[in-house]
Amino acid sequence: MSDEIFSNETDYDTDTVSCTSISTEITFYIFLLLETPSVLCSLLLFYYFIRLREYLYRDYSNITILYLVLGAFLITSIDMPIIIIHLQNCYYIGSMKDPYTFCIFWILCDYILYSVNLWLMAFACFERYLSMFFKQFIMKTRKRRFLLYYALTIFITAFVVLRYLYVILIYPCAQTSFDYTQITCGGSCYEFVDDPVIQNIDWIIAVLLPTFLVIFFILILILHVLYQRHKISRHLTERNTWKRTRKMFLQLVPIGFIFLAFNMPLIIVGMLGITNSWYYTTLYSYTNSFWYCLSLLMPFAILSRQKEILKRLRILFNLRGANRIASLDGTA
């Protein structure tokens, strides 16, 4: 999601340095190397989640994981190819037949997917907390399961989509032109009007609040897990509960780690930018790239804790290796 300074006039001369800088080339090659493996990893997870439906519905928390995979896949398959092309040639969009319409489409996709994925991560932490410590309550009736795993997700997605449709397409500001040399064409005009209220509300709702909720629920989970571990040392009968809690917590660890590692720099720079615009204009464009790395790495973090899928992959590779050896022995 880009919040770079909007320009009413596209000045290709002033942007030549940013288009050809070393940091841009490094970012381009990092994204290019991660793009295809990330998409393939997401497709692999989709395949096994669909094929192993009993595994998917055995634990409803897997549905939440599936949402995270879907969110990362949409970014890496829709938004990321545009970004990679732009990093390779920042004048490409300006040479299109209708670059203005394309920029509106790009901004909508980027902002909506960015915010939805942050809120899905917050929802995943909230759901994991409920599943670990209030499972009987949420699983007691079908209505409660529907409200948590489907209705709440639909509401989050609809809210984000409708909000950005309003601020980008309906909000009264003069979007006369774009800076085609910038990520998401420099951003939407609502970000640069003389109204700090809408800008701050947008940043709080889209970025700060979901990130705060992720940190809050992760800390709560850590405290609960430590407390339950202390209890288990005195009550041996609760070992099964501890094993289940530990398993669910460890599934969230790699996801939460990369989320905080790649999203917190953006949050810190954004908060510093409230008091000093230098941070916002100078550092934000660099830290903004971290967010896209999060989406590229998310499928691998999820796969690393899917033991059932990893087990089947090991069996598959072992069978292929055995067949290859057998064919070599047969021809010897």
pLDDT mean over 255-282: 76
The least confident of 6-10, 93-97, 275-279 is 6-10
User: What would the pLDDT profile of 65-83 be if each residue is shown by its tens digit?
Assistant: 999 999 999 999 999 999 9
Query: What CATH number does residue 163 fall under?
Result: 1.20.1070.10
Q: Is residue 304 part of a domain?
A: yes
| Residue 280, domain member (yes or no) | yes
Q: In what helix (H) or strand (E) does residue 226 lie, and over which residues does it extend?
A: helix 209-232
C-alpha torsion sign, points 114, 116, 119, 121: negative
The CA distance from 265 to 216, in Å, is 17
Q: Determine, yes or no, domain membership for 284.
A: yes
Comparing 233-237, 263-267, 272-276, which segment has the lowest mean pLDDT? 233-237
Greater model confidence, 104 or 268: 104
In this structure, is residue 5 part of a structural domain? Answer: no
Least confident interval from 6-15, 20-29, 31-40: 6-15
Amino acid symbol at 195: D
75 within 8 A of 112, measured Cβ to Cβ: no
Residue 9 lies in a domain: no
Residue 10 within any structural domain of the chain: no
Say if CB 221 and CB 249 are below 8 A apart: yes
Q: Look at the chain and report how many structural domains it folds into.
A: 1
Which pLDDT tens digit goes with each residue over 157-181?
A: 999 999 999 999 998 887 777 888 8
Give the predicted TM-score (pTM) of the model: 0.84
- Domain range for 286: 16-331
